[in-house]
Amino acid sequence: MSSQVETVISELRREFGEHLDETRVTHKNEIYYDVASLDWLPNVCSFVHHQWQASFVCAWASDERSRDGAFHLHYVFSLDQFGLFVIVCSPVSVEDSEFPSVAAHMIAANWAEREIRDTFGLTPVGHPHLKRLWAHPDWPSDNYTMRKDFPLNSQPPRVEGDFEFHRVEGEGVFEIPVGPVHAGIIEPGHFRFSVAGEPIISLQVQLGYTHKGTEKLCEGLSVEHALHVSERISGDSSFAHSMAFCHGAERLAHVEVPERAQYLRMLCLELERIYNHLSDIGMIANDIAFLVGYSHAMRVREQVMTLNEKLMGSRLLRAMNSLGGVRRDIPDAAFSSILSTLATVRRELRDLAELLFTSASVLDRLETTGVLAQKIARDVGIVGLAARASGIDRDFRRDHPHLQYHRVSFKVPLYKSGDVNARTRVRVDEVFESIQIIEQVLSQIRPGPIRVPLEKIPTYAQALGYAEGWRGPIVHAIQTDAAGKISRYKIDDPSFHNWPALIFAVQGNIVPDFPLINKSFNLSYSGNDR
């Protein structure tokens, strides 16, 4: 047991003593606390969050009535300075089906608790804004899909209902509905603006249109089967999501992935980051009608996509991850082609960045647009590149080293202005850093096996799997049943944390700037809805 783990355990024991039932340390960096009394759940969570400045990662419920007659809550926090996760757990009785809200003390847990209410029927008492999140108005209020007795193939009857939107009253205030069907090919989401003239007073968001029941679908599946599902959570993060799932399954099985496979996974993660960042840089240029910049970025992106297909057989890096490693090797002879392509990307992006950030018309649209203040970002729990653009220094590649990231050097780009300009610059800087990471990967990788078998998945076990995707940290929690199959599968996509940021970032901006602000976050509807 590391000294950091001992410090965390002793401090919590000293603070809460008899209010903690059991403490468990698994997989070296997961510390589980079982809270004896449900009333003390917010106290323990608040202490972890404030005492160590621990970041809220995710929260979920599990239906364990068949084992102990109760539901269970799980709140996950990241202690970045120690590289640890603290998971605070507590049972909720079937009879009461209520628990004291953690979001009442820590707003970052807002959406997570609303999802628990919608899918399990457990009510967070004292929650600051307990409206429906996942469940649409025509969904019956007493159908809780994540309970074990809710059959996957059921077809509940629809009911009458309307979205719960708060109306802003006042002379000259108008509502502008946008979506859920949008122009172009983006996925559905409904936005309702309250405006006075052009400035936006408030924005309300309704998502859930692309909900696929992914977590429910994986219950009872083997980890081999569920891996294929994990690749389809969010198309532009196929590799990162499947990587997080594999990581969790491998930790469950206590399997060490071969070193060469770890380096190949790093290569894929960084290529996924590069092609997505290039796409966003181009689309931001497109949204301000800077078509030269758009064409330039998309041309460079296509070179990376072509490289992906040449190396892995998939432009989106699908079917590359495998439990225990990767499905295919990349011959050392291909390294020169990778380095040549990346050298071109570096050169072309430098030219593009100079073109963008020396143009007065571009800066006029990007600077001070869609500002997300650091305090709001921290309070709401914003993650990934959006957080780094608001001065929050977090990156799972550094703070929770996975694969071989501890062997490569890279900088975490940080900006403090929190505007569209900062979010664009973070993307540019991260592409340069990813290129450096890949160059180090190719210089360090050595011959060896690319996969080891997972002999046996333990029963009644639990583990976190994680990866720093291009949007931000992706976390998958896997719990197994008596047969070693998946009992509960929790998916945490960075978009679930960052959609609320859009509500704050647009306030005071004009309506025509909404597409630009929205694109600067580029959040996944599918990843959020699952």
Domain presence at residue 146: no
Write down the residue that tokens 């929650």 correspond to.
127
Question: 251 — phi, psi (to 5°)?
Answer: -70, -40
The predicted pLDDT at position 4 comes to 86
Mean pLDDT calculated for residue range 1-11: 83
Out of 206, 224, 251, a domain closes at 206
315 in the same domain as 189: no
442 in the same domain as 362: yes
- pTM, two decimal places: 0.95
Domain presence at residue 10: yes
Domain presence at residue 156: no
In this structure, of 107-116, 128-137, 240-249, 478-487, the range with the lowest mean pLDDT score is: 128-137
Mean pLDDT calculated for residue range 67-88: 94
pLDDT interval class at 390 (50, 70, 90): very high
pLDDT at 1 over 70: no
What is the C-alpha separation between 201 and 196, in angstroms, rounded? 7
pLDDT at 185 over 80: no
498 in the same domain as 365: yes
What is the C-alpha separation between 378 and 391, in angstroms, rounded? 9
253 in the same domain as 201: no
330 in the same domain as 306: yes
Domain presence at residue 20: yes
The predicted pLDDT at position 142 comes to 85
* CA Rg value for the chain: 23
Q: Give the helix/strand (H/E) hosting 61.
A: strand 55-64
pLDDT interval class at 61 (50, 70, 90): very high
Tell me the C-alpha to C-alpha distance, in Å, between residue 31 and each of 38, 71, 74, 290, 493.
Answer: 19, 20, 12, 49, 22
Write down the residue that tokens 């079917």 correspond to.
319
Out of 157, 190, 206, a domain closes at 206
224 in the same domain as 301: yes
> Could you please report the per-residue DSSP string of 228-294?
HHHTTS-GGGHHHHHHHHHHHHHHHTT-PPPHHHHHHHHHHHHHHHHHHHHHHHHHHHHHTT-HHHH
Burial class (CB in 10 A: 0-12, 13-18, 19+), 354: exposed
Compare 171 and 414 and report the one with higher pLDDT. 414
pLDDT at 290 over 90: yes
In terms of residue numbers, what domain contains 289? 214-529
What integer best gives the mean pLDDT of the chain? Answer: 93
pLDDT at 254 over 90: yes
pLDDT interval class at 18 (50, 70, 90): confident
pLDDT at 261 over 90: yes
The predicted pLDDT at position 46 comes to 94
475 in the same domain as 337: yes
Question: 142 — phi, psi (to 5°)?
Answer: -110, 20
240 in the same domain as 192: no
Q: Within 10 A of 235 (CB to CB), how many other CB atoms are there? A: 14
Q: Within 10 A of 100 (CB to CB), how many other CB atoms are there? A: 18
Q: Within 10 A of 163 (CB to CB), how many other CB atoms are there? A: 13
Q: What is the CATH number of the domain that holds 18?
A: 3.30.460.80
Mean pLDDT calculated for residue range 85-107: 94
Number of domains in the chain: 3
Write down the residue that tokens 């649409």 correspond to.
136
Q: Percent of the chain having pLDDT more than 90?
A: 81
pLDDT at 517 over 90: yes
434 in the same domain as 345: yes
Domain presence at residue 463: yes
495 in the same domain as 394: yes
Domain presence at residue 248: yes
Q: Give 303-332 pLDDT, tens digit per residue.
A: 999 999 999 999 999 999 999 999 999 999
Q: Give the helix/strand (H/E) hosting 384.
A: helix 384-389
| DSSP annotation of 313 | S
Out of 182, 206, 230, a domain closes at 206
The predicted pLDDT at position 181 comes to 87
Residue closest to 39 by CA, chosen among 94, 90, 115:
90
Q: Give 328-361 pLDDT, tens digit per residue.
A: 999 999 999 999 999 999 999 999 999 999 999 9
The predicted pLDDT at position 125 comes to 95
Compare 369 and 10 and report the one with higher pLDDT. 369
Mean pLDDT calculated for residue range 518-529: 94
Mean pLDDT calculated for residue range 63-85: 94
Q: What is the CATH number of the domain that holds 257?
A: 1.10.645.10
The predicted pLDDT at position 178 comes to 87
The predicted pLDDT at position 73 comes to 97
Output the six-digit token pair for 54.
Answer: 């621990």
195 in the same domain as 234: no
Q: Measure the N-to-C terminal CA separation of the chain; round to a whole number of Å.
A: 36
Domain presence at residue 168: no
pLDDT interval class at 169 (50, 70, 90): confident
Domain presence at residue 336: yes
202 in the same domain as 223: no
